[in-house]
């Protein structure tokens, strides 16, 4: 068992257990992969190809609802990554290019955007919004 920090919610730690169904090829992770909580619930799932994360990866809240999802290309985040509140509402949205975040949006539980950040010319341009 080990602790895994969920990147969508950095303060949340979840007790994990070994999943014997995960695959290895030439001592590298390969094929479908699942991380499970102590109670057997899936916490995160995705695919490895020759030891590198590839394709869609998803993480789940303790109630089984989707926590976050996004794509890996050659072990680097790419494209849109979304994270959700347990009620299903969008909490955060990131746009990655070759593993680097270039655009970030955060939302209040009401669904209203709380902040936007965009990476331009070597620095972050930030804007915050009020819920009212």
pLDDT tens across 31-90, in order?
Answer: 999 998 888 899 999 999 999 999 999 999 999 999 999 999 999 999 999 999 999 999
Q: For residue 104, give the DSSP letter.
A: E
Q: What is the per-residue pLDDT for 82? A: 98
- The whole-number average pLDDT for the span 100-116 is 96
Task: Tell whether the torsion through CA atoms of 85, 88, 92 and 95 is positive or negative.
Answer: positive
pLDDT band at 18 (very low <50, low <70, confident <90, very high): low
Q: What is the per-residue pLDDT for 117? A: 96
Q: Is the pLDDT of residue 114 over 50?
A: yes
Structure confidence by residue, pLDDT tens digits, 77-95: 999 999 999 999 999 999 9
Beta carbons within 10 angstroms of residue 115's beta carbon: 14
- The whole-number average pLDDT for the span 109-130 is 93
Q: Are 42 and 34 in contact, with CB atoms under 8 Å apart?
A: yes
Q: What is the per-residue pLDDT for 32? A: 93
The residue count for the chain: 132
């Amino acid at each position: 068992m080990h602790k895994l920090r969920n990147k969508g919610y950095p303060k949340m730690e979840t007790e994990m257990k070994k999943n014997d169904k995960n695959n290895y090829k030439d001592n590298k992770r390969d094929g479908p992969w699942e991380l499970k909580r102590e109670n057997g619930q899936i916490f995160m799932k995705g695919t490895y190809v020759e030891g590198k994360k590839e394709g869609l990866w998803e993480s789940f809240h303790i109630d089984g609802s989707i926590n976050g999802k996004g794509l890996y290309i050659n072990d680097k985040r790419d494209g849109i990554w979304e994270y959700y509140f347990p009620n299903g509402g969008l909490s955060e949205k990131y746009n990655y290019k070759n593993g680097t975040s270039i655009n970030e949006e955060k939302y209040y539980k009401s669904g209203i955007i709380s902040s936007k950040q965009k990476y331009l010319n070597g620095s972050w341009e930030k804007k915050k919004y009020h819920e009212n």
